[in-house]
Structure 1
Amino acid sequence: MKTIAVLTSGGDAPGMNAAIRAVVRAGLDKGLKVMGIQRGYSGLLSGEIFPMDRHSVADIIQRGGTMLRTARCEEFKTEAGRKKGANILKTFGIDGLVVIGGDGSFHGAQLLSKLGIATVGLPGTIDNDLPYTDYTIGFDTAVNTVLDAINKLRDTSTSHERVSIVEVMGRNCGDIALYAGLAGGAESIIVPEKGYNQDELCRTILEGKLRGKMHNLVILAEGIGGADQLAEKVEEITGIEARATKLGHIQRGGSPTCADRVLASRMGFKAVELLSEGKSSRVVGVIDGKIEDMDIDEALAIPRNFDEKLYDIAKILSY
């Protein structure tokens, strides 16, 4: 292993820059040449590859987004596209590749490894939807962004005695809604894993009003979606004014939290260790606070389990 490269792919996530920084500086410390690939697999296919040094990653650990940029690439999903990518990496003398992204990015890394490129994946996604790891890079920051928003919404919701329905990101994973809802004291948390009953939700809101609640905060995961329609139904049934707020891509931006910076740094360092040891087709995760690695095929085959216990806790404490 003489030369490694790093790219970010799929949706951006706070902490990706911290991971890039760790890969570059850990690689240089081991005497490796480190290359950056811009715009993910799309940039790989167009040869957007450049050498990186310590200065390349100065002053980025605190920045959100990804300094390498990111893009989705339909061509790379084809066998011809992947072969082209592998040949380009070999042309640049790149022996190993660190891929920072979600499950789609990992599938790309998995297939590249079968073409003779040593690959290691780092979980960079706010959704926290990769089941082999307890947390993904960017999740903690996204949850704190949501928490800050709902704290502000609670103030205005209380002033007007409204129901505030907040739609958050996460694709088909309800973790952002669950964690932010629990931490923000939401009265109701609606996630794809559990679904919801409209009449039961409205009854909960009315019962809360009878107990003297000045507002109701409902966190809705985008996997179910329809915040505007739900607000209309709630107002129609309960007679209480209801407003919908979609936080959208604000959840992907912003300076990463301490937790995300540390997690990304530890994972990036581990990725370089794995490549320098000649290992390939691995993914890095955190399990019970320890940085672990796993075969990428095994990781992608693990079914995702929703945290039923945490959901029950949130439900009990919301009453």
Structure 2
Amino acid sequence: MSASFASALGAAREAAAAQHYPQGALYVVATPIGNLADITLRALHVLQLADAIACEDTRHTQALLRSYGLERPGSQLLAVHQHNEQEAAQTVVQRLQAGQRIAYVSDAGTPGVSDPGARLVAAVRAAGLRALPLPGASSVTTALSVAGVVAQGVEASGFVFAGFLPAKPGERAQAVATLAQEPRCVVLLEAPHRIAELAQSLATLGARPVTLGRELTKQFEEVVTQPASELPAWLAGAPQRTRGEFVVLLHPAATAGDAGEGLRVLRLLLQELPVKTAVRLAAEITGEPRNALYAAALALKHEDSE
């Protein structure tokens, strides 16, 4: 255990032990997305208290627990990941029905948010058992808090979480074209080996601001906002810029035009005109970025050809 966490377990007991922690319940525990100090006192207490810990990767979780001085035998770690979640959930349900307290953690952040956990919670609730949240770190809210996202009106308030876009280029381009019509902020996640391809797809959105959050809460954390068209060049500017996990925020479109209206106009024009002419006129009529409309036009043509 790191000496810096030596007093944390005692503090966790002092701060959280007075609360009631019912037996036969699943405790969904958020864990740090990078910086180990971002664990909550209540999370530390429940990880000590639980009869077993279900986790996305037992080796990763064992290392995390040891960082805080929480040694667990292998028999108390249950693998529940995307490949076995539905089946493993039944094992967890049986343990809960026997009166055990089970904590569930994903590899990082809040379970069930582009991580395993949703099917497990659904199975637990379907069995008439309790699932209790222990909130904490989340890459989504972490990135949003420092992106400076400003809504362009009532319709653009809030955000949409889209997670990972499709890996295939055609499907990804179509997804970007659809998201271009979304007036609210869109939150995406991406892995380092695919961030360059995602940036190329987003570049079709022209001047629309995009915030990249890389290695959030870690030593080499980086948060930068660029016009979408400049993302590929920025990523190529230094080798380290494509390393680490990414949160990508597509800001609300800075335009007076209505995104839904732009798509409606584009559809009508495409019925009578070539793509380039339809896009040019739609941009002039609605004030929307020509690149975004062009990407939408290609996606619409693709739909019609299927």
Q: Same fold (TM over 0.5)?
A: no
User: What TM-score does the superposition give when structure 2 sets the normalisation length?
Assistant: 0.33
Instruction: Considering Cα pairs closer than 8 Å and 6+ residues apart, tell me whether 1 or 2 has the greater RCO.
Output: 1
User: What TM-score does the superposition give when structure 1 sets the normalisation length?
Assistant: 0.32
Q: Which structure has the bigger radius of gyration? A: 2
